[in-house]
Amino acid sequence: MAQHITYGIIGCGMMGQEHMRNIALLPDATVGAFFEPDDEMAARALAIAPAATRVGSVAELLAVEDLDCLLIVSPNFCHVAQMEEIAATRPLPLLVEKPLFTDPEDVAKLAAFRDSYPHPVWVAMEYRYMPVVTEFLTKAAEATGGIKQFSIREHRFPFMEKVGDWNRFNRYTGGTFVEKCCHFFDLMRHGLQADPVRVMASAAQAVNHLDESYGGEVPDIIDSGYVLVDFDSGARAMLELCMFAEGSAYQEELSAVGPVGKIEAFVPGPGRFWPEHLGAAPVAKLVTSPRHPQGPVVHDIPVDPTLLDAGDHNGSTFYQHQKFVAMVRGDGTPEVTLADGWAAVAMGIAAQESARTGQAVDPRRWM
């Protein structure tokens, strides 16, 4: 029988609850305790994990004896301070939601954490574990003959409302290219097996949140833009983001091209947002298009409906926890390392800076 794994969770808002629903689907894993300061979110969390104990602080959570690992799903700007508190009080295997950090000034703190933390740290990059994206990444090298161009398009809904409206302001999120798009920068590095050397971006707050006000302050987050990235391998990548395009059939479209062909992945958005009058929601697709012989081959990549119902990320959160729990039991090492999460944020910071200044930026200054 596998070792039972008990999680302690920091933050049980919308994403924290998705994590809890997926942990509940794992055999021999439970949520033992959680810290969530908002009463409404805590009540929803207890409905998912009624046997869990709600505590009043990170310190109280770390004092709970029967914990095997920790999961941080708090607002972005809280992550680094909470990691430092864990390191100083009770280090355990750690899964940290993206983005790993938001403030460029935190780089030195991260370096100190990295050099002293005695347990594995896994950064939660759910997009790697969407079944169609996993297939895309597995087959890309063969299908392309070596990726030369890699593009990602996300056409989606606006940022949702969060407790305290923290996700409306750059100072809390790190900016949209950090908060949202670190997923895609991670996929670029992972898919290309290369590091970025130059980032160029053009972006704006074109449509969303302009008529909103919080304490007399209008949100300042980007809702659309383009990012070009040059890699040390000579490959290039592009991100196209639009957050007022929820009418699309597919939320994410990935394309990799090389000398022998092209491979594409099409990922639907959350099923709960698909209008009933349109019938069944789209199914994820993988398309391979060789140059010789010409002709695209389309593969449907369905996902277990139970996993689709457990979250908004095409089943990926379950598969991520499945691998994380195996690691906690001693089987393997983090697949998404602290360095991976760090580099993805550095690329996002560079994109924010490039969009602001109109100049190309080297992301290695934050890596």
pLDDT (tens, 9 = 90+) of the chain, 367 residues, equals 789 999 999 999 999 999 999 999 999 999 999 999 999 999 999 999 999 999 999 999 999 999 999 999 999 999 999 999 999 999 999 999 999 999 999 999 999 999 999 999 999 999 999 999 999 999 999 999 999 999 999 999 999 988 888 999 999 999 999 999 999 999 999 999 999 999 999 999 999 999 999 999 999 999 999 999 999 999 999 999 999 999 999 999 999 999 999 999 999 999 898 999 999 999 999 999 999 999 999 999 999 999 999 999 999 999 999 999 999 999 999 999 999 999 999 999 999 999 999 999 999 999 9
For residue 237, report the phi and psi dihedrals to the nearest 5 degrees: -135, 155
Place of tokens 């800076």: 353
pLDDT given for residue 247 in this prediction: 92
Shortest CA distance to 202 belongs to which of 344, 346, 358? 358
Rg (the chain; Cα; Å): 20
Termini Cα distance of the chain: 41
pTM, to two decimals: 0.96
Burial 59-96 (b: 16+ CB within 10 A, else e): eebbebeebbbbbbbbbbbbbbebbbbbbeeebbbbbb
**How wide is the angle at C-alpha 174 spanned by C-alphas 325 and 168, nearest 5°?**
100
Beta bridge partners of 199: 229, 361
Shortest CA distance to 91 belongs to which of 82, 79, 99, 102? 82
Q: Cα separation of 74 and 51, whole Å?
A: 21
Q: Cα separation of 307 and 324, whole Å?
A: 17
Q: Cα separation of 29 and 2, whole Å?
A: 10
Name residues whose C-beta falls within 8 Å of residue 147's C-beta, 6 or more positions apart in sequence.
Answer: 140, 141, 191, 192, 235, 256, 257, 258
Q: In this structure, what token pair is assigned to residue 290?
A: 């060789």
Return the number of other C-beta atoms located less than 10 Å from residue 302's C-beta: 12
pLDDT given for residue 279 in this prediction: 93
Shortest CA distance to 125 belongs to which of 332, 316, 330, 348? 316
Shortest CA distance to 65 belongs to which of 87, 32, 26? 32
- Give CA torsion, residues 47, 48, 51, 55, to 10 deg: -80
pLDDT given for residue 239 in this prediction: 98
